[in-house]
Amino acid sequence: AQSVTQLGSHVSVSEGALVLLRCNYSSSVPPYLFWYVQYPNQGLQLLLKYTTGATLVKGINGFEAEFKKSETSFHLTKPSAHMSDAAEYFCAVSGGRRALTFGSGTRLQVQP
């Protein structure tokens, strides 16, 4: 069984500030972990993914995430927020030959 918990349904940051979106997962098998972004009225777009190997994963648009097995976490960060980062972000887990299980999403607001 797999599950994802995203802490904070809404996060607001100032432009230029650090972005930190939290994700904790549960998986009975070694997980594959993903972050997707959804802009208004659009489908989901992959930001980054962790499968195996290096635990710090870099994605598009300056985002990165670190897989911490001991904490069962896969938090998403970006050093400096931009207005265009305003969107909804979904963490997802996959493992055991099943499709993705998504978290409930975090809506990121960026204040000027």
Partner 1 sequence: DARVTQTPRHKVTEMGQEVTMRCQPILGHNTVFWYRQTMMQGLELLAYFRNRAPLDDSGMPKDRFSAEMPDATLATLKIQPSEPRDSAVYFCASGLVLTGDGDEQFFGPGTRLTVL
Pick from 3, 12, 26, 51 the residue near partner 1 by CB under 8 A.
51
DSSP state of 29: S
- CA angle, 79 then 83 then 89, to 5°: 70
Contact 90, 35 (CB under 8 A): yes
**Torsion angle of C-alpha atoms 78, 2, 24, 77, degrees rounded to 10:** 0
Q: Decide whether 79 or 96 has the Cβ nearer to partner 1.
A: 96
Pick from 1, 7, 18, 46 the residue near partner 1 by CB under 8 A.
46
Contact 91, 100 (CB under 8 A): no
Pick from 105, 106, 108, 110 the residue near partner 1 by CB under 8 A.
105
Q: Decide whether 70 or 97 has the Cβ nearer to partner 1.
A: 97
> How many CA within 13 A on the CB side of residue 9?
1
Q: Decide whether 5 or 17 has the Cβ nearer to partner 1.
A: 5
Does position 44 bind partner 1 by CB under 8 A?
yes
Does position 49 bind partner 1 by CB under 8 A?
yes
Which residues would be at the binding site for partner 1 (CB under 8 A)? 32, 34, 36, 41-46, 49, 51-52, 90, 94-105
